[in-house]
């Protein structure tokens, strides 16, 4: 056997070629491995500070930064029933650095809006179903009755006297309230507002009789006895409101509804990057102190994988699309 050594000039050429190839492949390798740890992870929230999505994101933020090994920043981009933030993330680079903190409007907007500047199911890939939470039906202290059953009895006795404040046409609380009206066979006038804050103020000022919001949004007013909780829309009573019945307990055995928060990345984000993001969120959500804070705010931790939140969003779309089609409910001005 014999072997030959390449000439010195050829060796240099080969070496230069290997270096050049490595430089070309380096960005691909980095992209597959995940974002640079020096680049902050941006969580884009669809509503202003102080809302349920913002509260949940800020509770998760510290442990998520630890798990991801990089800074996590929260950017609030409210507007157009979540469309502003959602479109922004849909058009962001699919590099794992910009994620959507999506509210239930993510699945409802395709039902409620005739046109959207993005495709809810094609332009995003799920990272995790972070949390869900029932709505609390909160009433003005001047409203008759101490629970949902007695309030509905009063509403039947005096049709059209009472009203409910929602966070807008096509919002989750609008749909849930309309479903309750249908099942209870009562008339309640719908008064849409631009967000939870104005809806709460409407109840405090006796402009509207009730509203349906997260416990986190109503907790302060309930504690101050300025709003009385009539019922919760989940399957179980809330730990902080042990004396407040569920809607199921109030005579509606099939009634169960939740708002939810999911994390989504732009659709073209590499699968390996999405898996790493999912792991980071699951680590943060499983932290005992984070779970305690979320539970105290009325959230139920889900911490699923990406395909589960994709599936859940589709199921929610199908549920409310069917409801709107069946009832003929108007969701746009």
Mind listing the pLDDT tens digit for each residue in 206-243?
Answer: 999 999 999 988 999 999 999 999 999 999 999 999 99
Q: How confident is the model at residue 24 (pLDDT cuts 50, 70, 90)?
A: very low
Q: How confident is the model at residue 276 (pLDDT cuts 50, 70, 90)?
A: very high
Tokens 């932290």 belong to which residue? 287
* Token pair for 278: 């999912």
* Token pair for 250: 């109030």
Q: Where in the chain is the domain with CATH 3.40.190.150?
A: 41-132+259-327
In the chain, % of residues over pLDDT 70: 89
Q: How confident is the model at residue 309 (pLDDT cuts 50, 70, 90)?
A: very high
pLDDT mean over 33-48? 82
* Cα distances (Å, whole numbers) of residue 288 to 60, 186, 240, 291: 11, 43, 18, 5
Q: Which fold has domain 134-232?
A: D-Maltodextrin-Binding Protein; domain 2 (3.40.190)
- Cβ-in-10-Å burial (0-12, 13-18, 19+) of 217 comes to buried
> What's the pLDDT at 35?
62
> What's the pLDDT at 51?
81
Average pLDDT over all residues of the chain: 89
> Is residue 162 predicted with pLDDT exceeding 60?
yes
* Token pair for 112: 């409620």
Q: Which CATH architecture has domain 41-132+259-327?
A: 3-Layer(aba) Sandwich (3.40)
* Cα distances (Å, whole numbers) of residue 23 to 14, 17, 19, 28, 308: 14, 10, 6, 10, 38
Mind listing the pLDDT tens digit for each residue in 146-160?
Answer: 999 999 999 999 988
> What's the pLDDT at 21?
41
In the chain, % of residues over pLDDT 90: 76
> Is residue 17 predicted with pLDDT exceeding 60?
no
- Cβ-in-10-Å burial (0-12, 13-18, 19+) of 54 comes to buried
- Largest Cα separation within the chain, whole Å, is 104
Mind listing the pLDDT tens digit for each residue in 173-187?
Answer: 999 999 999 999 999
> Is residue 5 predicted with pLDDT exceeding 80?
no
Mind listing the pLDDT tens digit for each residue in 82-105?
Answer: 999 999 999 999 999 999 999 999
pLDDT mean over 195-212? 93
> What's the pLDDT at 18?
43
Q: How confident is the model at residue 333 (pLDDT cuts 50, 70, 90)?
A: low
Q: Where in the chain is the domain with CATH 3.40.190.10?
A: 134-232
């Amino acid at each position: 056997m014999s072997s030959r050594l390449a000439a010195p000039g050829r060796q240099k050429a080969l070496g230069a070629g290997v270096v050049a190839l490595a430089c070309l492949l380096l960005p691909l390798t980095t992209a597959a491995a995940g974002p640079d740890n020096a680049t902050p992870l941006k969580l884009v929230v669809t509503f202003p500070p102080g809302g349920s999505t913002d509260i949940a994101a800020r509770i998760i933020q510290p442990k998520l930064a630890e798990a991801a090994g990089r800074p996590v920043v929260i950017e609030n981009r409210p507007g157009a029933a979540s469309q502003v933030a959602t479109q922004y993330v849909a058009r962001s680079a699919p590099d794992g650095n910009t994620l959507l903190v999506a509210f239930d409007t993510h699945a409802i907007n395709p039902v409620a809006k005739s046109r959207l500047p993005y495709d809810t199911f094609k332009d995003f890939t799920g990272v995790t179903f972070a949390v869900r939470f029932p709505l609390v039906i909160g009433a003005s202290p001047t409203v008759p009755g101490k629970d949902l059953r007695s309030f509905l009895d009063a509403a039947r006795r005096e049709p059209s006297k009472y009203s409910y404040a929602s966070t807008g046409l096509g919002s989750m609380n609008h749909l849930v309230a309309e479903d309750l009206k249908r099942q209870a066979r009562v008339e309640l006038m719908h008064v849409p507002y631009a967000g939870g804050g104005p809806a709460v103020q409407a109840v405090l000022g006796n402009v509207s009789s009730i509203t349906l919001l997260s416990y986190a949004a109503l907790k302060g007013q309930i504690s101050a006895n300025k709003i009385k909780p009539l019922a919760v829309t989940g399957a179980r009573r809330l730990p902080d409101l042990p004396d407040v019945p569920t809607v199921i307990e109030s005579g509606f055995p099939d009634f169960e509804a939740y708002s939810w928060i999911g994390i989504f990345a732009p659709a073209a984000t590499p699968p390996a990057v999405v898996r790493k993001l999912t792991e980071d969120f699951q680590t943060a959500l499983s932290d005992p102190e984070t779970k305690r804070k979320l539970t105290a705010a009325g959230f139920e931790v889900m911490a699923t994988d990406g395909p589960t939140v994709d599936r859940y969003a589709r199921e929610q779309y199908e549920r409310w699309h069917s409801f709107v089609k069946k009832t003929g409910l108007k969701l746009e001005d």
